């Protein structure tokens, strides 16, 4: 029996030097263990219209070089769609920009992180309230994850549960209701993806007083963070 596909809402493209490795949607599909016919990609940044929710097992929102605070037309239309989908109980997973867009859609506050850029393999701490969460319960109290962002969810949506945080970002993950999750970190990133992003941002990092070489040397695999994608797929299909 054919299972309902997942919708991947593409909100941006990888940095130029990383595009030879495919799109964000491709990275997510592969990391989530989905076959080609198990995912439908809609590129909202390129102007493609979001479909009806009917017939999808769930939706994943990618990262982007855009900023949620820019309130771009395609972004605000996507936020409206996500708000309706969340209230309808559709399984949702927002990653990085998608995490911030989902929070914005549900009434949270997004803005530049006062601690500046967070980049590289970082330590994320699971919060006590995550111990019964379908995606986070099986994770250790501390686990490594790949991150690259300037903006953050500064105030989660009303009623949201913060599932993970660290010293840099007080909301690295949240759940709203029973079916909508946001992740500031990138579960789809391999160590190679992370190093590629660090090298692509070496000039900006240098201007901020950071060393791309030092950050790249600290990159490691993050299999526990990656598990979240497959756990989301299993949860959504139940």
pLDDT in tens, 28-67: 999 999 999 999 999 999 999 999 999 999 999 999 999 9
Mean pLDDT, the chain, rounded, equals 97
Rounded Cα distance, 194 and 152, in Å: 19
Over 80: is that where the pLDDT of 1 sits? no
Secondary structure (H, E, C), the chain: CCCCCEEEEECCCCCHHHHHHCCHHHHHHHHCCCCHHHEEEEECCCCCCCCCCCCCCEEEECCCCCCHHHCCHHHHHHHHHHHHHHHHCCCEEEECHHHHHHHHHCCCEEEECCCCCEEEEEEEEECHHHCCCCCCCCCCCEEEEEEEECEEEEECCCCCEEEEECCCCCCCEEEECCCEEEECCCCCCCHHHHHHHHHHCHHHHHHCCCCHHHHHHCCCCCHHHHHHHHHHHHHHHC
The reply to whether 171 belongs to the active site is: no
Torsions phi, psi for 32 (to 5 deg): -80, -5
123 is catalytic: no
From the list 99, 149, 172, 186, the catalytic residue is 186
Res 160: pLDDT: 98
Quick: pLDDT tens for 164-220: 999 999 999 999 999 999 999 999 999 999 999 999 999 999 999 999 999 999 999
Within 13 Å and on the Cβ side, how many CA atoms surround 171?
Answer: 26
Catalytic residue (one of 171, 188, 193, 235): 188
- Residue of 96, 99, 104, 172 marked active site: 96
pTM, two decimals, is 0.97
Q: State residue 175's pLDDT score.
A: 98
Confidence of residue 2 (pLDDT cuts 50, 70, 90): confident
Rounded distance, CA 53 to CA 69, Å?
26
- Is residue 96 flagged as an active site residue? yes
pLDDT tens for each residue of 117-131: 999 999 999 999 999
């Amino acid at each position: 029996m054919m299972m309902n596909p997942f919708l991947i809402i593409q909100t941006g493209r990888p940095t130029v030097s990383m595009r030879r490795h495919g799109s964000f949607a491709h990275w997510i599909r592969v990391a989530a263990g989905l076959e080609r016919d198990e995912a439908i990609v809609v590129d909202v940044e390129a102007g493609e219209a979001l479909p009806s929710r009917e017939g999808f097992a769930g939706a994943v929102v990618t990262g982007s070089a855009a900023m949620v605070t820019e309130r771009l037309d395609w972004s605000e239309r996507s936020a409206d769609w996500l708000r309706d989908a969340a209230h309808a109980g559709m399984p949702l997973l927002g990653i990085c920009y998608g995490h911030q867009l989902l929070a914005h859609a549900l009434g949270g506050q997004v803005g530049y992180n006062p601690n500046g850029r967070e980049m590289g393999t970082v330590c994320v701490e699971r919060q006590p309230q995550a111990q019964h969460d379908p995606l986070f319960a099986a994770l250790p109290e501390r686990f490594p994850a790949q991150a690259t962002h300037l903006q953050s969810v500064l105030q989660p949506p009303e009623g949201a549960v913060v599932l993970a945080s660290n010293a840099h970002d007080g909301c690295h993950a949240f759940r709203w209701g029973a079916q909508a999750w946001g992740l500031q970190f990138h579960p789809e990133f391999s160590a190679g993806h992370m190093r590629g992003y660090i090298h692509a941002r070496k000039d900006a990092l240098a201007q901020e007083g950071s060393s791309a070489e030092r950050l790249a040397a600290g990159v490691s695999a993050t299999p526990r963070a990656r598990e979240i994608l497959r756990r989301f797929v299993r949860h959504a299909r139940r």
